[in-house]
Amino acid sequence: MQRVWYRHDQEVVVAALRRREPIDMVTTMNSGPLDGLVALHEELGILTALGEVRSTRRRRGIEDELLLRTAAVLPFLPQPGLTGAAAQLFGEPAILLRLGWSPLQICMGDNERHRHCEERRQASLPCDPETLRDALGRVTEECWCKVQRAGVQALFERRLVRGGTYAVDGTGLGPGLRLVCLVCVSSERPVIVAWRVLSGDASEKGKEAAVTRSLIEQLVELGGPECIGLLLADALYADGPLLAWCKFVQNIDVLVPLPSDREIHQDLDRMVREGLIPLRRHSYVRRIQGHKQRRTVELGVAREMTCWDSFLEAARRYGAAQPQLWACLIRPMDATDPEDRPWTLASTRDWASGQEAYQTFRSRWHIENDGYRELKEGWGLEAERWGRKLAVQRGRITLTCLAFNTAQVYLTRLGQRAAERGIRRLRQRYRRELGTSPAVVYIGSGFAVLSIEKLVAILGAPARRSLLPVTAAARPP
């Protein structure tokens, strides 16, 4: 197939319109939410990072860089499935042009592996969704990690990650597949700063603490040693050596919940029964499925706890003279569920009170309610994994996490400014004269960008009034 490149030629296209020559294509340079998300994605360097990805093998037809840039936009669309999202995106020529598709590719496709390209189905233009899936399957895990690092580093460079409190936890995405994320929960909107896709043996119990350590190392490398001060870790993803490493090597405090079968909890319970630790009541309001509910717990605090042997041994190896832990026993007073049983918070930080530690730990629920629940229910990450191959699923997860972060940032004031800068760079040459939604008209070998008013005037139906801003050159003397 021979490519035809269109050049920007206002005068030639306007003259052709006046002669009533047939129009090849026409589209608008709209500025809707999808445009803003794509612009912010580009401002954050996501699309540029995908251009540096190297596939395991080259295939004839469309370049993998263009396919990956296209796949990166699919998570923003309401259709969670690959085929449905691709069909919706392929109906947005303005977005396709921004991603790098040429007008000829949009109309006729550009995959030389298919015979009779001129007779391809409309649903497979500009490419078949299977072509996108194949492109994702040709990317290695190492390349996806590089894209992840590039996307997160851009957030830190633009100071879009606020606060030093982080949470780590995992969630299942189907049989044999698990996603573990390190999330910044300091602000109202969580941001995923590092993640791992575990499958098969990699998700077996006993290896979770090693995953947490690799996530923290990646975070410190990208955000600097001062970016994290407190880690809220689920008991499954934290053990004694990890707590010691965080405290005495990385200077990071850890707050971790422990079940009732742990030795620390049993010691605290015995001390409470013997009257050695006083209990204080703490009442607060929590929200469950949009409904407020008051809850009361009893808190008993003990300092200088030394009954976690693996922590003590690891801490001494790191040079700690007298390692110890802070602990708080928590007893629900208004238990309504069998799961509401006593448990313990343990920490490497000496908290001023049990109430302060308990309220701080409640921020961990951001990773559950605003993180994993959104990824599964809002972004369809569990139901639609885009394929059966692990390589494709890994690509789907990476692109979705990056899109999740971009959407979170887009809802902030700084994110709105960054998105506006990206859109402004595209339209800064035309916006003042043409408004926010000009039309792009393709005729012959050229294209022109015209306001809607000027386009209808050329076609012989001028508007009686104009809503365009009056420029200095257009003002009457």
Q: Which domains does the chain have, with CATH numbers?
A: 30-140+383-427 (no CATH), 161-378 (3.90.350.10)
Query: Using an 8 Å Cβ cutoff, are 302 and 264 in contact?
Result: no
Mean pLDDT lowest for which of 80-89, 148-157, 425-434? 425-434
Query: Using an 8 Å Cβ cutoff, are 183 and 216 in contact?
Result: no
H/E stretch holding 131: helix 129-137
Between strands 325-332 and 343-347, the pairing is antiparallel
User: Residue type for 16, please?
Assistant: A
Dist. CA 281–CA 320, nearest whole Å? 34
What is residue 199's three-state secondary structure?
strand
Q: With bands split at pLDDT 50, 70 and 90, how would you rate the model's confidence at 34?
A: confident
**Beta-strand (E) ranges in 209-252?**
230-233
User: Residue type for 232, please?
Assistant: L
Dist. CA 256–CA 346, nearest whole Å? 5
Residue 435 has pLDDT above 90, yes or no: no
Dist. CA 373–CA 177, nearest whole Å? 16
Dist. CA 263–CA 195, nearest whole Å? 31
Residue 414 has pLDDT above 80, yes or no: no
Query: Using an 8 Å Cβ cutoff, are 441 and 13 in contact?
Result: yes
Mean pLDDT lowest for which of 13-17, 25-29, 342-346, 467-471? 467-471
> Which two tokens mark 67?
């396919």
Tell me the backbone φ, ψ of residue 292, rounded to 5 degrees. Answer: -80, 145
Residue 117 has pLDDT above 70, yes or no: no
By percentage, how much of the chain surpasses pLDDT 70?
80
Q: With bands split at pLDDT 50, 70 and 90, how would you rate the model's confidence at 472?
A: very low
Dist. CA 9–CA 442, nearest whole Å? 10
Q: With bands split at pLDDT 50, 70 and 90, how would you rate the model's confidence at 5?
A: low
Residue 473 has pLDDT above 50, yes or no: no
What number is the average pLDDT over the span 372-400?
A: 92
Spatial CA neighbour of 221 closest among 311, 163, 148, 171: 148
Q: What is the pTM of this model?
A: 0.80
What number is the average pLDDT over the span 347-372?
A: 90
Beta carbons within 8 Å of 261's beta carbon, 6+ residues apart? none
Of these ranges, 243-252, 291-300, 449-458, the one predicted with the greatest mean pLDDT is 243-252
